Structure 1
Amino acid sequence: MDHLTVTAPGAGQDAVLLEDVTVTLSAARTAVIGENGSGKSTLARAIAALVPAASGTVTVHGVDAEQDVKALRRILGMVFANPAAQSIMPTVREDVELTVKALRDDAGRKLAKDEVAGRVEAALAEHRLTELADRPCLSLSSGQAQRLAMCSVMVGQPQVVIADEPTSLLDGRHRRIVADRLLGGAGRGRFQLLLVTHDLELARDCDEAVWIHDGRLRAHGPAAQVVGEYERFLDQEFAGEAAGQPR
């Protein structure tokens, strides 16, 4: 990101959601942390070209995010907090199959039917969805739906995965499953991860972190260091509020 600024229409003048963010994220696993309304999700959506930049540029693995959205879609996948918004096919298998059918072999040809079927079944097994393969997507629990969302994204073999609060609606068991898929051995080395999260334990497990505060880049560095700075800030804010001081 180079001098990235994102705005939204407001009464009288535009509201600034992100202001002059310049940073290069090269680690395998990067956490994005900050308070509600700080601009974390806006940052993720700008990288994914889901919101336009008012000024500045975003480059993802050599692709200009705004100028070549088609190329960006080939290398980047996004997992949202609400997985129900991502499933567009009637059943679990069909949803995964939709992604696989869009893949091409090394010669640029569509995959053969037997290869499509093989990849779909392998992906379902990897994400513990085989027994749910013929279930309607709308019948899944939040945890099951999040596993499906990750499966449908990862089976497309993206170079970059952005996960925006992927554990916020999950119970403890599914949080562990999702964390393993994104941060553990299952995901390591297969894609670069950008994890937007309030879960500071997950953030600390990343390689680096960025802290967004009031739409600006507050800190960037090793995850443990940045998370520690953010926790000290929160402690100071809480102590001030407890003493009756205005924020």
Structure 2
Amino acid sequence: MRGGRLSPRIVVAGLAVTISVQAFPAFSQTLGQPPDTMAARVEACTPCHGNQGEGTSDVYFPRLAGKPAGYLYNQLLAFKNGRRRYPPMNYLLEFLPDRYLQDMADYFAEQRPALPATAQSDVSNQVLQHGQTLVARGDPQRQIPACGSCHGPGLTGMEPGIPGLLGLRPNYISAQLGAWRYGTRTAKAPDCMQQVAARLTEADVTAVAAWLASRPAAINAAPAPKGAYVLPFACGSESD
């Protein structure tokens, strides 16, 4: 410093430090950064699907936790590719690589939060009985297989691609069965869910949705291992 004036070298060095801090704030904010974990990365999913994928109070957003990773991956791909249409999901997934979608699916498949308490049904006992019959025995005369023949005796699904049906709200179940019936939701061929749902009436859908939503949590809610039981017909989900 000469005569109260800073050396040009000091001025330049000071400017360089200021610019580097402004241009690269990460260097000045090393503390308090979120952890680089999948739990942190899927925070965008939690407002709709819960912190661990357990679901929320919104009846149209499903539980993700504990479903087979193959099933979850297929659904993420379907939203990314537009086979399933829901703008917020389509937008969130449009530019994510498939490998990352698999990592997301693996994360939610490993979560095991408790199933929500079942709500009191507002349908009649007769409707619930009809739903129980379709879930447990189907309707052979109309070529409708029992839900349990594909989704398992305990309705917990089977690896790698058949989801469990417990912990879902009746409105969500009804909406998805309607989507299968009208072709707005599709799956890998042979699309067995579309074939089954097309044979259901509105009354069938209401009954099945109400009875499934009334089921208590299973002692072991994990999906059955691949090949644990034989499906009644060929289904693309079985081989995913």
TM-score by length of 1: 0.24
Query: Which has the larger share of helix?
Result: 2
- Kindly indicate whether structure 1 or structure 2 has the higher relative contact order, using CA contacts under 8 Å at least 6 residues apart: 1
TM-score by length of 2: 0.25
Query: Which has the larger share of strand?
Result: 1
